[in-house]
Amino acid sequence: MRVAVVGAGPAGVRAVEQLVRAGLRPVWIDEAPDGGGRIYQRPPAGFHRTPKALYGWEGGRAAALHATLDALKPQVDWRPETLVWNIQPGLLDPGRLDTVRDGAVEQLGFDAAILCTGAMDRVIPIPGWTLPGVTAMGAAQIALKTQGCAIGRRVAFVGSGPLLWLVAYQYMKSGAGIAAVIDTTPWRTKLHALAGLRDGAATLAKGAWYVARLRAAGILVREGATPIAIEGEDGVTGLRWRDASGVEQRLDCDALALGWGVRPETQLADLAGVPMRFDAPSHLWVPQRDAAGRSAVPGLYLAGDGAGIGGADVAEMAGARAALALQEDAGMKADVELATRLDRRLHAQARFRAALDRAFPFPARLAATMPDATILCRCEAVRAGELRQAARADAATGAAPEVNRAKAFTRIGMGRCQGRICGAAASAVLADALGCDVTEVGRLRGQAPVKPLPMPMPIPAGTP
Amino acid sequence: MSGVVETEVLVIGGGGAGCSTALHLALRGAKVVLLERGLVGSQASGANYGGVRQQGRHPAELPIAKRSHAIWQDLPRLLGTDCEFVATGHLKLARSAADEADLVAYLDVARDYQLPVRFLDRATLHRDYPWLGASVVAASFAPEDGSANPRLLSPALAQAARAAGAAIREQIQVTACRHENGRFVVEAGDAVFHADTLVNTAGFWGGQVAEWFGEPVPVRPHTPNMGVTEPIPYFIRPNIGVAGGGIYLRQIPRGNVIFGGGRGTGDPAVPFSRATPEATLAAMRKAVEIVPSLAGVSVIRSWSGIDGMMPDGIPVVGPSSTTPGLFHAFGFSGHGFQLGPAIGAILSELVLDGRTDVPLEPLSIRRFQTTP
Amino acid sequence: MRQEVALRLVRLVDQDRPEISFTFEDRAMTARQGDTLLTAILAGDGAFLRESEFGDGHRAGFCLMGACQDCRVVLEGSGRVRACTTLLQPGMRVRRA
């Protein structure tokens, strides 16, 4: 049986571990050179901070995952620095993955595949967000983690979610200059959602600990605040924002990180024909799967944040569980005891996830009410006003009733990133302009290639 | 909505041909209802390459193409948008002596139809277009041709039709049609439509409509494979085709290079269509042969849509051979985008005047009828 | 005299790596082994990675994880690449896209 695993983050590593344990030798594909996913991404050779320094409280988990990953590489068909740019699900014929590595394309057949495609930052465009110096929240962390750099000398952190506190704290500890931490969620929202749960209380406690240390260092931390606009000409010079009492404020900064949690990378699942559903608590479109990771497409399994946001620990469990499901479905002898244990623990985690979603709600109003002049789609430089125009019944093309039609009319989400960055905000703006629920305008469909695919380069002279 | 809807003209299919038919009929005061299974322009009309060319068209199509050319230039007045139509010229390339001979032979056709086309020998061609690959040996250039944005045309035609009084009904699928007591009865969704005249502009699915009226045709689904690159500085001004086919490409002033070649995959029953990796990769290789500086430029999206392909590669346009009051315009075989705007004008004449000046005999559905 | 350009990325930790030379916009620059092209350019005085094709100003990357595609540069011999996922090699010649 040919099994493929896409992704070598927490879910992918634990999936492959179980497949190898069952005697399989999967093809294992990852875009990064050294696996680990985004959360446990390793710096290139030549860096030497310890896992504790790189990953904080998760240092032990990261080190364990890396050790497993490295031990598995020789036991599988390991293909790093490889993009799966297209997937054709196996229905009657075997499935196929189209890959590209350094310009060389290849097609791989599979009987079963586990997609562990991970997540990326969820951002809301605000005026000025395309300026040099503005990055996604995760990007600010990646710069520090994998390159040892801060994104500026005086960085403002804007958004909400556990990552906001963590990255600001990591910057402070590394000696970076911090202008402010602007949290759009009021403290009481977080408190109400999290206080009653064991894991929730721990998250709150961590957050309070980070915030206390930031404040102790004299850093401005504000909750329940709203960003208005990023200022600057050739780069960031400041942020205008509104405090919890509605008073407009301004601060100086030369860099700014933006983020409201993360969203799943669902392009491959979408292309494979996995049905998607809108998960209201997280305000995200997620691929449908059962608790063990089975999708409605035979032979296709989903695990980790790419299958719905659960975080790294859940991803490790889900990866292992999906691999066991694959074995069960293939008529192999699977570790039933482990499967049962994982099911129980995954189920228990679901309550905590729901509380996190309530604690850090997606500020849909902030997205829906962005000024007309805001660049909404940064790839194609489409402004919010152009999208609102496409929702008007008297537009030359008539009103776009859903987001893919709006894409057709305005080019929103039509650029290099295929709407990964602006999709959620575009739906919020369109739904608001049409006066309908955000689920009614749908989601941007994926199209191959899921990331840019280069036209072939000429073969250098003298190559045999 | 359930119940019976009475109208003068019912149009089945909201592609370019159907929407322009609804528009031209409504502009002349006819009561018209258009039924579209999805959203207007969802299939071939919206997913095509966007080429607007007369060069290379079959002589049977040229009179329609010429009439369409005039309408294309008039779109801002007609629709309130130019649908990004730009007359950049169409450059058809030859890569062999045989292809070159084909281009030369077409010059006579073009002359007969007063279509301006200029032959470019190798030296002139590479002087004027220094970015072309060495494998190109000659070309013919049609300055009136160009390209437009296919995603805009059908919706804009439909919107103008609405403004002129037509009813454009989307998300409603026709499930049965018949001619009863001199009127057409069409079942769609929860409703039944009664009409004096029926227009079949249902693309590939037009074959089903024709079959309902006892005139089956050998139409096949056609799924052109399309792709687009990231934006790069604008340098490819003409729309580029190649004698013998296999690759066509154009660059829009925003910078993206749109290219097509080969077949995607699809299922008209769903309907569903998609580019295939094999066709996309093959088209990418061919694109780099034609324009070597595209090497290292990335493709960011691929797609397809379902068109109707006739065995002789030209559409069915004209009155039904079995049923008075039924008119066909389908099976555009990849040529419908440019022809669409004129199709509506011509069909509105057939419907309201009983005649048109455009010769349609070579496109008649009768050409597929086997003599009993 | 060249105008002073603010460095976008600030090197904080793990920076005791060998220096590497490369060119950006035909100008000689140095960076460190293990830098991505994005880091090499923006921790130096490269200022920005590309001009938006649509006239709305400079861009200097955004997601740093290969998703947003906003950090594209032209790498001689390779075409258009993502600066955030391409590791710097000695002698690379890089231009703004």
Residues B296 and B316 in one domain: no
Sign of the C-alpha dihedral, residues B354, B357, B363, B367? positive
| Chain C interface includes A436 (CB < 8 A) | no
Q: Residues A28-55: what's their mean pLDDT?
A: 95
| C-beta separation of B207 from B308 below 8 A | yes
**Token code pair at residue B225:** 């494979």
Nearest C-alpha of chain C: how many angstroms from B193?
A: 48
A374 CA: distance to closest CA in chain B (Å): 20
How large is the average pLDDT for residues C12-31? Answer: 97
Amino acid at B319: P
Three-class DSSP category at B209? helix
Residues contacting A293, CB < 8 A, separation 6+: A114, A301, A302, A303, A307, A318, A321, A322, A325
A333 vs A326: CA distance, rounded Å: 10
Is pTM beyond 0.80 here? yes
**The pLDDT value given to residue A380:** 98
Report, as an integer, the average pLDDT of A460-464: 63
| A247: β partners | none
Which of B152, B169, B130 minimizes the C-alpha distance to B12?
B169
Distance from CA of C79 to the nearest CA of B (A): 4
**Longest CA span, chain B:** 67
B162 and A CB contact within 8 Å: yes
Asked whether the beta carbons of residue A409 and residue B155 sit closer than 8 angstroms, the reply is: yes
Cβ-Cβ contacts under 8 Å, A88 against chain B: 277
**Type of residue at A324:** L
Asked if pLDDT for residue A431 goes beyond 50, the answer is yes
Residue A3 predicted with pLDDT over 50: yes
Identical topology for domains A3-120+263-357 and A364-441:
no
**One domain, residues B335 and B299:** no
Model pLDDT, residue A93: 72
Residue-wise pLDDT tens digits, A308-329: 999 999 999 999 999 999 999 9
pLDDT at A137 over 60: yes
* SS3 at position A369: coil
- Considering chain C, what percentage of its residues have pLDDT values greater than 70? 94
φ/ψ of B3, rounded to 5, equals 105, -175
pLDDT for the residue A202: 85
Distance CA A78, CA A80 (A): 6
What helix, strand, coil percent values describe chain B, rounded to 5? 35, 30, 40
Examine the pLDDT at C2 and tell me if it is beyond 50. Answer: no
* Phi, psi dihedral angles at B171 (to 5 degrees): 60, 40
- CA closest to C9 among chain A residues: A151
Say if A265 is an interface residue toward chain C (CB within 8 Å).
Answer: yes
Q: pLDDT tier at A196 (50, 70, 90 boundaries)?
A: confident
Q: Which of B52, B162, B157, B273 is nearest to A393 (CA)?
A: B162
- H/E stretch holding A188 reads helix A187-194
Chain C residues close to A457, C-beta within 8 Å: 77-79
Query: Predicted ipTM?
Result: 0.96
Task: For residue A121, give the H/E element and its range.
Answer: strand A119-121
Domain end (from B274, B304, B334): B304
Q: How confident is the model at residue A91 (pLDDT cuts 50, 70, 90)?
A: low
**What separation in angstroms does the CA of A67 have from each of A63, A147, A320?**
6, 21, 16
Chain B partners within 8 Å of A391 (Cβ): none
CATH value at residue B330? 3.50.50.60
Say if residues C9 and C42 touch (Cβ distance below 8 Å): yes
Confidence of residue C1 (pLDDT cuts 50, 70, 90): very low
pLDDT confidence of residue A462: 64
For residue B128, being part of any structural domain is answered with: yes
pLDDT at residue A200 in the model: 80
C55: contact with B, CB 8 A cutoff: no
What lies within 8 Å, CB to CB, of A331 at 6+ separation is none
Note the pLDDT tens digit of each residue in A269-300: 999 999 999 999 999 999 999 999 999 999 99
Do residue A398 and residue B155 have CB atoms under 8 angstroms apart?
Answer: yes
CATH class of A126-260: alpha beta
Tell me: do B316 and B299 sit in the same domain. Answer: no
CB pairs under 8 A between B and C: 18
Report the pLDDT value the prediction gives residue B2, as an integer from 0 to 100.
63
- Tokens 């039904």 — which residue? B320
Assess if CATH 1.10.10 describes domain A364-441.
yes
Average pLDDT over residues A231-260: 97
pLDDT at C6 over 90: no
Judge if B163 and B234 occupy the same domain: no
Residues 186-225 of A with CB under 8 A from C: none
B300 and B330 in a single domain? The answer is no
State residue A421's pLDDT score. 97
CB contact under 8 A, B288 and A447: no
Q: Specify whether the CB–CB gap between C40 and A216 falls below 8 A.
A: no
- Of A12, A114, A143, A27, the C-alpha closest to A75 is A27
Q: Within a domain: residue B57?
A: no
Q: Please state the separation of Cα C56 from the chain's center in Å.
A: 20
Put simply, whether A60 touches B (Cβ < 8 Å) is no
Measure in Å the smallest separation between the Cα of C29 and chain A Cα atoms: 18
> Which subunits count as partners of chain A given 3+ CB pairs below 8 Å?
B, C
pLDDT given for residue B370 in this prediction: 72
Question: What residues of chain B lie within 8 A of the CB of A396, using their CB?
Answer: 79-81, 152, 156, 159
Q: Which of C11, C13, C85 to mutate to test the interface with A (most CBs of A within 10 A)?
A: C13
Q: Given an 8 Å threshold on Cβ–Cβ distance, is B159 in contact with A105?
A: no
Reported as a single tens digit per residue, the pLDDT across A358-395 is: 999 999 999 999 999 999 999 999 999 999 999 999 99
Size of interface A-C (CB pairs under 8 A): 154
| B358 and B288 within one domain | no
Domain that holds residue B132: 90-143+224-304
Tell me if chain B has a CB within 8 Å of the CB of C50.
no
d(CA B105, CA A51): 72
* DSSP helix/strand/coil, A213: helix
Q: Are residues B229 and B135 in the same domain?
A: yes
In this structure, what DSSP letter does residue B94 have?
A: E
Mean pLDDT of the residues in chain A:
95
Residue C4: pLDDT above 60?
Answer: no
Give the right CATH number for A3-120+263-357 from 3.30.2350.10, 3.50.50.60, 3.30.830.10, 3.30.930.10.
3.50.50.60
Amino acid identity for residue A191 in this structure: L
Judge: A452–B298 Cβ closer than 8 Å, yes or no.
yes
- Residue C33 has which token pair? 């082994």
Q: Within an 8 Å CB–CB cutoff, is residue C89 touching chain A?
A: no
Residue B78 forms part of a structural domain: no
Most distant pair of Cα atoms in chain C: their distance? 39
Q: Kindly report the nearest CA distance between residue C9 and chain A, in angstroms.
A: 5
Domain ranges of chain A: 3-120+263-357, 126-260, 364-441
Place of tokens 């929860």: B190
Q: Is A452 on the interface with C (CB under 8 A)?
A: yes
Overall average pLDDT of the C6-11 stretch = 89
Rounded to the nearest angstrom, the minimum Cα separation between A236 and chain C is 10
DSSP state, B81? S
Antiparallel, parallel or unpaired: β B174-180 and A149-150: unpaired
Last residue of a domain, one of B284, B304, B324: B304
For residue B371, the model assigns a pLDDT of 59
- Chain C residues with beta carbon closer than 8 angstroms to that of B254: 53-54
pLDDT at position A203, please? 83
Are B295 and B231 in a shared domain? Answer: yes
Q: What is each CA distance from B291 to B138, B240, B277, B302, in whole angstroms? A: 14, 10, 21, 19
Residues of chain B with pLDDT under 70: 1-2, 371-372
Nearest to C53 among B255, B295, B297 (CB): B255
Q: Which of B258, B273, B304 is the last residue of a domain?
A: B304
Chains touching C, CB cut-off 8 Å, 3+ pairs:
A, B
Asked if the C-beta of A414 comes within 8 angstroms of chain B's C-beta atoms, the answer is yes
Beta strands B183-188 and A453-454 are unpaired
Residue B55: inside a domain: no
Chain C residue with minimal CA distance to B229? C80
B131 and B160 in a single domain? The answer is: no
Residue A340 has pLDDT above 60, yes or no: yes
| CATH code (residue B98) | 3.30.9.10
- The domains of chain C, with CATH numbers, are 19-96 (3.10.20.740)
- The terminus-to-terminus CA distance of chain B in angstroms comes to 43
Q: Do residues B364 and B49 lie in contact, with contact meaning Cβ atoms separated by under 8 Å?
A: no
Confidence band of A230 (pLDDT split at 50, 70, 90): very high
Looking at the 3D structure of chain B, how many domains does it have?
Answer: 2
Q: What angle do helix axes A198-216 and A187-194 make, rounded to 10 degrees?
A: 150
Q: Is residue B58 part of a domain?
A: no
User: What is the pLDDT of chain C when averaged over all its residues?
Assistant: 94
